[in-house]
């Protein structure tokens, strides 16, 4: 019994005390939420057991007696029995009573209430559905933690009382459940697909196998797949019998969808259509992974949960090794996008299997493109041509990826179907008007439906786009690319002028796909109406990922790190230039061209300490993603490092100026953020390699680069550094932890 909890109810009456009812009774009892708990059940034995277990104070065989004076009634019985019970208790209800239930279907519970109360359903009547349970049933299977970290859906009616709803929410939260409210119909449709259909399929499979003559052999040799898939077929038949009838309409619809999908699988296997089958299996597998991620990150679907943290301990002895960091994120995104709208097949190697690029890949699969892989960085995209994309069945989820959302805005504005794009909490705060505005000038119908010109982005198809010239107000490769991509479908010429050169992967790759793109100074142009032809794309290693190791080696005595086959496209090499100016011992070796992009091995040694510099503004767009890491280098340098002209950093995955300044201060570094940059007073001394950072706790604000940058601070820390929210590292650098540990960083991920 918890002393801190407050009694919420005078008397709680359970009608039925099976698995769910008795588990909730256990919670109410343990947390002391009610003065009295009573129950009425059909089985006398259950009442005796409930008393013996200490779950109830009084047991009744008659529901009307049990609910006398109760201020909370929980109907925890088969949904089919709801109407009979409501009829029995109708005349003895308190005026302020709260009545809820725990059934898996909701429309029929509401129908039952209508049948009994007509238009006067009590305002405290709020149906509910805890999405928890097990294949076991009965009072003895109940557990006090059955609902912990599970969802409970409440379906208030139009006349439901807000106080009653709040009380129910508090009750379920006391059971450590997450409460979601939705309307009755939506509940039944969602559950038909996510719960009722899978149960029916499990019963169906076991029934099918059990009816075979060789059933004994089958069950004896049944492998893990059968065990996993059929587990839920051991559930209570009576309960599922009731549910299948109670939610008949929605379930039958779901079954029809299942039959159609199964038929498609049957057809492609019959026809031995290998490409189609790989496409379907790959899509399903990716969708499964994607949904996992969505569930973990989408606040609309689930409470935000931070799933990972890094802890870096002081005393790293060495930072050495030769590493190949994963593929370039910008190039990976574009390889899928361009491959999808090309004619013919595109083979990609070195593809970044990080969540951002996978979000792009999933979006195109959702638009009907058959894509094989990724497997060991290899992807095959079966292009559908400029007019072959199909309407996705639901919103496209872009995760954490601004590049996906902004570039796709251009492509989707030119399609003949409507689309909506959503993202995770970080992406949902990022400005989308910067791309929506110019696209509107071309005739696109695009809306940023978030509060401040932020996602979701909603696009109306069937618009005829006109080519135009646009002077970019900010140096942004994403905006440039989004406009040029819309220009592929626009009438006439589309051109952009950038204030400073930004990464030119779009221009280079369009040419690799056989599309003419002109560049004159800072002006880039193309003419709509052409086509792309599938090709081979070799994705270089991402210099933005390499940058963490470059900085790590530059600040660590005797470090010796070589990063192999890194992309050194001149629009991306600001980090090399800046580190060199700060005095790092850095050499670019073995330069060569691979897949149209220059690459090289980059070697950095910890032979000399760094000095602060005023970072040249022309380097800013060329190192835009590397500043969080460079700030760590600046903190270790002697003297001041001044960054100006970098206001764009404030609208990245987080406000990187503020978030880095906060973190640096936490770790004992004197720095001052400014509107468009930062001044960092380095704590280093030329020729000395002493510790720079105190220990401390860093909040990464869902920003992968913040998390990885502060990890490198661990190479010069005096006490442990804990970094929260590091799960986003997987968006761009899924092997970061492993490579950092291999190099010698004392990093624990948990």
Q: Is 426 in the site for ligand S3P (CB under 6 A)?
A: no
CB of 736 to ligand S3P, least distance (A): 16
Q: Write down how long the chain is.
A: 750
Whether the link from the prior residue into 374 is cis, omega within 30° of 0, is: yes
Residue whose CB is less far from ligand S3P, 623 or 680 = 623
Say whether 640 counts as a known binding-site residue.
no
CA–CA dist 363, 395 (Å, integer): 9
DSSP letters spanning 200-214 = HHHHHHHHHHHTSTT
What beta strand segments (E) does 280-403 contain? 309-312, 320-323, 345-349, 370-375, 378-382, 396-397
Say whether 705 counts as a known binding-site residue.
yes
Residue span binding ligand S3P (CB under 6 A) among the ranges 149-157, 237-245, 462-470, 471-479? 471-479
CB of 500 to ligand S3P, least distance (A): 10
* Contacts (CB under 6 A) with ligand S3P, residues 380-409: 403
Q: In what order do the strands lie in the sheet with 677-683?
A: 638-643, 677-683, 670-674
Say whether 652 counts as a known binding-site residue.
yes
Q: Is 235 in the site for ligand S3P (CB under 6 A)?
A: no
Say whether 430 counts as a known binding-site residue.
yes
Q: Is 525 in the site for ligand S3P (CB under 6 A)?
A: no
x/- site string to ligand S3P, residues 613 to 632, per CB under 6 A? -----------xx-------
CA-closest candidate to residue 597, choices 341, 407, 349, 340: 349
Residue whose CB is less far from ligand S3P, 503 or 701 = 503
Cα distances (angstroms) measured from residue 37 to each of 41, 47, 85, 311: 13, 12, 18, 47
CA–CA dist 125, 164 (Å, integer): 8
Say whether 481 counts as a known binding-site residue.
no
Residue whose CB is less far from ligand S3P, 372 or 507 = 507
CB of 744 to ligand S3P, least distance (A): 28
DSSP letters spanning 333-345 = HHHHHHHHHSBSE
CA-closest candidate to residue 604, choices 327, 320, 326: 320
Residue span binding ligand S3P (CB under 6 A) among the ranges 46-54, 97-105, 237-245, 472-480? 472-480
Tell me the two tokens of residue 364.
């195109």
Q: Is 67 in the site for ligand S3P (CB under 6 A)?
A: no
Assess contact for 609 and 587: CB atoms under 8 A.
no
Residue span binding ligand S3P (CB under 6 A) among the ranges 93-101, 146-154, 475-483, 706-714? 475-483
Q: Is 503 in the site for ligand S3P (CB under 6 A)?
A: yes
Say whether 329 counts as a known binding-site residue.
yes
Q: What is the CA radius of gyration of the chain?
A: 30
Tell me the two tokens of residue 704.
């992968």
- Tell me which of 49, 601, 625, 703 is the catalytic residue: 625
> Judging by DSSP bridges, how do beta strands 560-567 and 320-323 pair with one another?
parallel
Cα distances (angstroms) measured from residue 224 to each of 82, 228, 408, 487: 39, 6, 40, 51
Q: Is 328 in the site for ligand S3P (CB under 6 A)?
A: no
**Residue 98 bridge partners (DSSP):** 72
Work out the end-to-end distance of the chain between its first and last CA atoms, rounded to an integer number of angstroms.
32
Q: Which residue has the tokens 């909890």?
A: 5
Q: Is 247 in the site for ligand S3P (CB under 6 A)?
A: no
In sequence order, the 6+-apart residues with CB closer than 8 A to the CB of 320 are: 559, 560, 561, 743, 744
CB of 480 to ligand S3P, least distance (A): 7
> Judging by DSSP bridges, how do beta strands 457-460 and 445-448 pair with one another?
antiparallel
CB of 672 to ligand S3P, least distance (A): 24
Q: Is 648 in the site for ligand S3P (CB under 6 A)?
A: yes
Residue span binding ligand S3P (CB under 6 A) among the ranges 31-39, 41-49, 191-199, 473-481? 473-481
CA–CA dist 569, 596 (Å, integer): 10
CB of 499 to ligand S3P, least distance (A): 12
Say whether 208 counts as a known binding-site residue.
no
* One residue of 478, 527, 654, 737 binding ligand S3P per CB under 6 A: 478
For residue 260, the SS3 value is helix
* One residue of 17, 250, 477, 554 binding ligand S3P per CB under 6 A: 477
Say whether 273 counts as a known binding-site residue.
no
Say whether 560 counts as a known binding-site residue.
no
Q: Which residue has the tokens 């990716």?
A: 286
Q: Is 539 in the site for ligand S3P (CB under 6 A)?
A: no
Residue whose CB is less far from ligand S3P, 479 or 610 = 479
Residue span binding ligand S3P (CB under 6 A) among the ranges 37-45, 216-224, 474-482, 681-689? 474-482
CB of 435 to ligand S3P, least distance (A): 9
CA–CA dist 383, 346 (Å, integer): 7
* CA dihedral of 309, 377, 321, 557, whole degrees rounded to 10: -50
Residue span binding ligand S3P (CB under 6 A) among the ranges 52-60, 237-245, 417-425, 470-478? 470-478
Say whether 402 counts as a known binding-site residue.
yes
**Residue 471 bridge partners (DSSP):** 497
Q: Is 163 a catalytic residue?
A: no
Q: Is 573 in the site for ligand S3P (CB under 6 A)?
A: no
CB of 652 to ligand S3P, least distance (A): 6
Residue whose CB is less far from ligand S3P, 233 or 325 = 325
Assess contact for 604 and 585: CB atoms under 8 A.
yes
Residue whose CB is less far from ligand S3P, 159 or 519 = 519
For residue 130, the SS3 value is strand
* One residue of 247, 316, 330, 400 binding ligand S3P per CB under 6 A: 330
CB of 292 to ligand S3P, least distance (A): 24
CA–CA dist 351, 328 (Å, integer): 8
The region that residue 138 occupies, defined by phi over 0 for left and psi between -120 and 50 for alpha, beta otherwise, is: left
CB of 656 to ligand S3P, least distance (A): 10
CA–CA dist 604, 231 (Å, integer): 54
In a 13 Å sphere around the CA of 312, the CA atoms on its Cβ side amount to: 29
CA–CA dist 420, 450 (Å, integer): 12
CA-closest candidate to residue 481, choices 517, 451, 444, 521: 517
CB of 667 to ligand S3P, least distance (A): 24
Give the number of residues in contact with ligand S3P, rule: CB under 6 A: 11
Q: Is 89 in the site for ligand S3P (CB under 6 A)?
A: no
Residue whose CB is less far from ligand S3P, 356 or 601 = 356
Say whether 476 counts as a known binding-site residue.
yes
Q: Is 481 in the site for ligand S3P (CB under 6 A)?
A: yes
Annotated binding site for phosphoenolpyruvate: 329, 402, 430, 478, 656, 705
Annotated binding site: 329-330, 334, 402, 430, 476, 478, 625, 652, 656, 705
Which sequence positions are flagged as catalytic? Answer: 625
Annotated binding site for 3-phosphoshikimate: 329-330, 334, 476, 478, 625, 652
Q: Which residues bind ligand S3P (CB under 6 A)?
A: 330, 403, 476-479, 481, 503, 624-625, 648
């Amino acid at each position: 019994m918890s002393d801190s909890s407050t009694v919420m109810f005078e008397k709680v009456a359970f009608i039925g005390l099976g698995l769910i009812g008795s588990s909730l009774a256990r919670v109410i009892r343990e947390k002391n939420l009610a003065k009295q708990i009573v129950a009425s059940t059909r089985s006398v034995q259950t009442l005796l057991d409930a008393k013996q277990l200490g779950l109830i104070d009084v047991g009744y065989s008659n529901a009307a007696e049990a609910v006398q004076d109760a201020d909370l009634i929980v109907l925890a019985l088969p949904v089919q029995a709801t109407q009979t019970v409501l009829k029995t208790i109708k005349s003895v209800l308190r005026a302020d009573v709260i009545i809820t239930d725990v059934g898996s279907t909701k429309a029929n519970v509401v129908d039952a209430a209508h049948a009994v109360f007509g238009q006067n359903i009590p305002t405290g009547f709020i149906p509910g559905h805890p999405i928890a349970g097990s294949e076991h049933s009965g009072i003895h299977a109940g557990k006090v933690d059955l609902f912990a970290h599970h969802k409970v859906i409440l379906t208030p009616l139009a006349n439901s009382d807000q106080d009653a709803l709040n009380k129910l929410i508090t009750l379920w939260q006391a059971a450590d459940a997450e409460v979601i409210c939705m309307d009755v119909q939506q509940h039944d449709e969602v559950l038909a697909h996510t719960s009722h259909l899978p149960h029916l399929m499990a019963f169906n499979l076991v029934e099918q196998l059990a009816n075979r003559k060789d059933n004994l052999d089958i069950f004896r040799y049944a492998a893990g797949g059968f065990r996993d898939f059929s587990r839920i077929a051991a559930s209570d038949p009576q309960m599922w019998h009731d549910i299948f009838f109670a939610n008949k309409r929605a379930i039958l619809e779901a079954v029809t969808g299942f039959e159609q999908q199964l038929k498609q699988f049957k057809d492609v296997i019959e026809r031995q259509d290998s490409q189609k089958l790989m496409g379907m299996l790959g899509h399903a597998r990716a969708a499964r992974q994607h949904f996992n991620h969505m569930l973990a990150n989408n606040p609309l679907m689930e409470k935000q949960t931070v799933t990972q943290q890094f802890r870096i301990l002081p005393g790293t002895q060495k930072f050495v090794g030769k590493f190949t960091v994963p593929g370039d994120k910008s190039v990976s995104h574009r390889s899928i996008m361009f491959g999808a709208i090309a004619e013919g097949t595109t083979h990609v190697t070195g593809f970044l299997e990080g969540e951002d690029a996978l979000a792009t890949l999933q979006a195109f699969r959702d638009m009907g493109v058959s894509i094989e892989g990724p497997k060991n960085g290899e992807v095959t995209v079966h292009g559908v041509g400029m007019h072959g994309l199909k309407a996705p069945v639901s919103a496209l989820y872009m995760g954490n990826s601004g590049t996906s959302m902004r570039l796709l805005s251009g492509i989707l504005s030119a399609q003949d179907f409507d689309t909506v794009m959503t993202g995770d909490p970080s992406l949902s705060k990022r400005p989308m008007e910067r791309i929506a505005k110019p696209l509107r000038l071309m005739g696109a119908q695009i809306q940023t439906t978030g509060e401040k010109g932020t996602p979701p982005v909603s696009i109306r198809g069937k618009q005829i786009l006109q080519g135009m010239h646009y002077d970019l107000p900010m140096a942004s490769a994403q905006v440039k690319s989004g406009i040029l991509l819309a220009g592929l479908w626009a009438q006439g010429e589309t051109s952009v002028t950038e204030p400073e050169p930004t990464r030119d992967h779009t221009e280079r790759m369009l040419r690799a796909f056989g599309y003419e793109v002109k560049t004159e100074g800072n002006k880039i142009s193309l003419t709509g109406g052409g086509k792309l032809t599938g090709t081979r794309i070799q994705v270089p290693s991402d210099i933005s990922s390499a940058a963490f190791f470059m900085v790590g080696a530059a600040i660590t005595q005797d470090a010796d790190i070589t990063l192999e086959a890194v992309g050194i496209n001149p629009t991306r090499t600001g980090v090399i230039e800046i580190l060199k100016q700060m005095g790092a011992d850095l050499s670019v070796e073995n330069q060569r061209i691979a897949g149209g992009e220059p690459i090289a091995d980059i070697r950095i040694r910890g032979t000399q300490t760094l000095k602060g510099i005023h970072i040249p503004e022309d380097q800013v767009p060329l190192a835009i993603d590397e500043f969080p890491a460079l700030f760590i280098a600046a903190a270790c340098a002697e003297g001041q490092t001044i960054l100006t002209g970098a206001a764009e950093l404030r609208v990245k995955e987080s406000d990187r100026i503020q978030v880095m300044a906060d973190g640096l201060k936490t770790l004992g570094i004197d720095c001052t953020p400014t509107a468009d940059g930062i001044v960092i007073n380095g704590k280093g001394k030329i020729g000395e390699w002493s510790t720079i950072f105190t220990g401390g706790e860093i909040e990464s604000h869902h920003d992968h680069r913040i998390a990885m940058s502060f990890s490198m601070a661990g190479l010069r820390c005096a006490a442990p550094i804990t970094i929260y929210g590091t799960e986003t590292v997987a968006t761009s650098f899924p092997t970061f932890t492993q490579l950092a540990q291999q190099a010698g960083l004392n990093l624990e991920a948990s």
